[in-house]
């Protein structure tokens, strides 16, 4: 096992570090993949589009639905796979279900897929495992090329899923006329550079995450807040901390935090803000940061190195200035590292979290 960990203490750490390569491979894979065009055509022809998944893959799915709305001006209905019974009866043979599953074997996602197929709906799979059950039972499969992921907590499969799903949303938006070719090319260019950007982020922020973990090991709760396309990233950050460091963490759209969650905030309560590189969102988040600070919260910001909010942040994970479309790819790795180093400093094995399985093949 030591050899396959390639000198890293855990598979999770190795897989976090593999993200630059995984993103490059995934990018070049979809660049030449005819399935992408076929998937976009199915999206076009569909009456309604749904997207479903479990766990981390659901966060990527939720991001996809937001991008389709923002870039493609198209409503995509996201739902958690195990909740499919509340949705499938609204589907018909004119509709499309996108199923996202790194393993391609998650039973909840497979059940949702079969329920939609029985209604006649088309299915597009996004998976990391060629010819696994979900791609096999789909009309079209588009693959991430993250390579095998051993650590139970998903890392490189999440960032590569968001790359593929961003690509699909951009292609859809271009084909439907809501993005010009030059705008679409510009966004694809950012996706193409994402591997390189992530390499810099990991090199720069790993020591920062390690230091912060020395405090995080003693915290009992944390909030993860953001807005818009940052919300699924906050959800993923909170899930990582829960899964491997066993710290109670909740993610909310920041605007919602005043409707309940803020009641818990007192001196020293950690709040991690995912701050996408978009001026409108920074402006909105400033108010939320101030509300939290006024109650004594400690503010950790994952934000551009040039953000106007830096003087508001007690800790700042400095992200290079990139396009907001990369938010899940740029802003997630520091949060993976924070969860990883917190787990390690508490003496837990992040590769084998208690009560969790890498792939859940039962309902």
Polymer length of the chain: 363
Q: Which residue among 82, 176, 178, 359 contacts ligand G6P (CB under 6 A)?
A: 359
Classify each residue of 131-158 as buried b or exposed e, where b means 16 or more C-beta atoms within 10 Å of its C-beta: ebbbbebbbbbbbbbbbebebbbbbbbb
Backbone angles phi, psi at 197, to 5 degrees: -60, -45
Q: Which is nearer to ligand G6P, 129 or 262 (CB)?
A: 129
182: burial class by Cβ within 10 Å (0-12, 13-18, 19+)?
A: exposed
CA distance 176 to 139: 22
Say whether 181 is catalytic.
no
**Cα–Cα distance, 36 to 287 (Å, whole number):** 40
CB of 136 to ligand G6P, least distance (A): 14
Told to check if 228 binds ligand G6P by CB under 6 A, we report: no
- Minimum distance from residue 109 beta carbon to ligand G6P (Å): 5
Measure the CA–CA gap between 210 and 61, rounded to whole angstroms: 29
**Residue 106 sits in the site that holds ligand G6P (CB under 6 A):** yes
Q: Is 57 in the site for ligand G6P (CB under 6 A)?
A: yes
- Using CB under 6 A as the binding rule, whether residue 130 contacts ligand G6P is answered as no
What separation in angstroms does the CA of 172 have from each of 25, 39, 76, 182? 22, 9, 12, 14
**332 binding ligand G6P? (CB under 6 A):** no
Segment lying near ligand G6P (by CB under 6 A), choices 95-103, 135-143, 197-205, 258-266? 95-103
Residue nearest to ligand G6P (CB): 55
Alpha helices in the chain (DSSP H): 11-17, 19-31, 34-45, 55-70, 107-118, 133-136, 156-175, 181-216, 231-245, 279-294, 327-345
Q: Does 103 bind ligand G6P (CB under 6 A)?
A: yes
| Binding flag, residue 327, ligand G6P (CB under 6 A) | no
Question: The tokens of 148 are what?
Answer: 């095998």
Considering CB under 6 A, how many residues would be counted as binding ligand G6P? 17
157 to 186, contacts with ligand G6P by CB under 6 A? none
Catalytic residue among 41, 111, 210, 358: 358
Site for ligand G6P (CB under 6 A): which residue of 43, 91, 121, 152? 152
Phi, psi (deg, nearest 5) at residue 38: -65, -40
Nearer to ligand G6P by Cβ, of 110 and 184: the residue is 110
**CB nearer ligand G6P, residue 219 or residue 360:** 360
SS3 assignment, position 274 = strand
Smallest gap from residue 218 Cβ to ligand G6P (A) = 26
**Of residues 345 and 359, the one with the C-beta less far from ligand G6P:** 359
List 55, 276, 333, 350, residue binding ligand G6P (CB under 6 A): 55
Q: Which residue in the set 19, 26, 52, 56 belongs to the binding site for ligand G6P (CB under 6 A)?
A: 56
* 347 Rama sector, left if φ>0, alpha if ψ -120 to 50, beta otherwise: left
**Secondary structure of 314-337 in HEC code, one letter for each residue:** CEEEEECCCCHHHHHHHHHHHHHH
- H/E stretch holding 248 reads strand 248-253
The residue within the footprint of ligand G6P, chosen from 91, 109, 191, 303 (CB under 6 A), is 109
CA 203 to chain centre: 20
336 contributes a contact to ligand G6P by CB under 6 A? no
Please tell me whether residue 20 binds ligand G6P under the rule CB under 6 A. Answer: no
Residues involved in catalysis: 358
Which chain residues interact with ligand G6P by CB under 6 A?
54-57, 101-103, 106, 109, 152-154, 356-360
């Amino acid at each position: 096992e030591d050899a396959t960990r390639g000198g890293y203490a855990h598979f999770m750490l190795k897989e976090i570090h593999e993200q630059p390569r995984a993103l490059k491979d995934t990018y070049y894979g979809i660049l030449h993949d005819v399935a992408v065009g076929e998937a976009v055509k199915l999206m076009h022809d569909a009456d309604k589009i749904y997207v479903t998944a479990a766990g981390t893959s659901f966060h990527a799915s939720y991001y996809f639905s937001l991008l389709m709305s923002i870039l493609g001006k198209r409503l995509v209905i996201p739902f958690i796979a195990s909740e499919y019974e509340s949705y499938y009866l609204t589907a018909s043979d004119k509709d499309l279900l996108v199923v996202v599953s790194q393993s391609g074997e998650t039973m909840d996602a497979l059940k949702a897929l079969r329920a939609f197929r029985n209604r006649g709906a088309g299915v597009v799979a996004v998976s990391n495992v060629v010819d696994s059950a979900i791609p096999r039972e789909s009309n079209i499969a588009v693959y991430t090329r993250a390579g095998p992921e051993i650590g139970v907590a998903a890392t490189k499969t999440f960032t590569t899923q968001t790359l593929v799903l961003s690509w699909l949303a951009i292609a859809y938006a271009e084909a439907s006329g809501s993005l010009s070719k030059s705008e679409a090319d510009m966004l694809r260019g950012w996706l193409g550079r994402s591997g390189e950007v992530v390499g810099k982020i990991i090199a720069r922020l790993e020591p920062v995450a390690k230091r912060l973990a020395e405090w995080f090991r003693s915290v009992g709760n944390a909030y993860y807040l953001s807005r818009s396309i940052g919300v699924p990233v906050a959800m993923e950050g909170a899930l990582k901390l829960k899964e491997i460091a066993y710290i109670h963490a909740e993610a909310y759209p920041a605007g919602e935090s005043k409707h309940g969650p803020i009641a818990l905030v007192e001196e020293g309560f950690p709040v991690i803000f995912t701050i996408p590189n978009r001026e409108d969102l920074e402006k909105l988040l400033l108010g939320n940061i101030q509300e939290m600070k006024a109650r004594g919260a400690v503010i950790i910001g994952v934000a551009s190195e040039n953000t106007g909010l830096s003087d508001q942040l007690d800790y700042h994970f400095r992200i290079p200035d990139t396009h907001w479309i990369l938010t899940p790819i740029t802003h997630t790795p520091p949060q993976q590292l924070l969860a990883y180093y917190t787990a390690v400093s508490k003496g837990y094995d992040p590769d084998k979290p208690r009560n969790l399985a890498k792939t859940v093949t039962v309902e």
